[in-house]
Chain A
Amino acid sequence: SQQGEEDPQALSIQEGENATMNCSYKTSINNLQWYRQNSGRGLVHLILIRSNEREKHSGRLRVTLDTSKKSSSLLITASRAADTASYFCATDEAQKLVFGQGTRLTINP
Chain B
Amino acid sequence: EAEVAQSPRYKITEKSQAVAFWCDPISGHATLYWYRQILGQGPELLVQFQDESVVDDSQLPKDRFSAERLKGVDSTLKIQPAELGDSAMYLCASSLQTRGTEAFFGQGTRLTVV
Contact = CB atoms under 8 A, between A and B. Distances in A.
Interface residues of A, number: 26
B99 interface: yes
B45 A45 contact: no
Interface in A17-44: 30-31, 33, 35, 40-44
A69 interface: no
Interface stretch (B13-21, B67-75, B79-87, B102-110): B102-110
Contacts of B44: 2, 99
Contacts, number: 68
Contact of A48 (B59, B91, B93, B102): B102
Contacts of A40: 89, 108, 110
A41 B42 contact: no
B43 A43 contact: yes
Contact of A98 (B45, B55, B102, B104): B45
Given A43-B105, A95-B55, A96-B56, A88 B43 contact: yes
Q: Give the interface residue-count category, chain B.
A: 20 to 34
Interface of B: 4, 33, 35, 41-45, 48, 55-56, 59, 89, 91, 93, 95, 98-108, 110
What 4 pairs across the A-B complex have the smallest Cβ distances?
A42-B105, A45-B102, A99-B42, A101-B42
Given A42-B91, A42-B105, A97-B45, 8 more contacts: A2-B42, A43-B43, A48-B101, A88-B42, A90-B103, A96-B45, A97-B33, A102-B42
Interface of A: 1-2, 30-31, 33, 35, 40-45, 48, 50, 88, 90, 92, 94-102
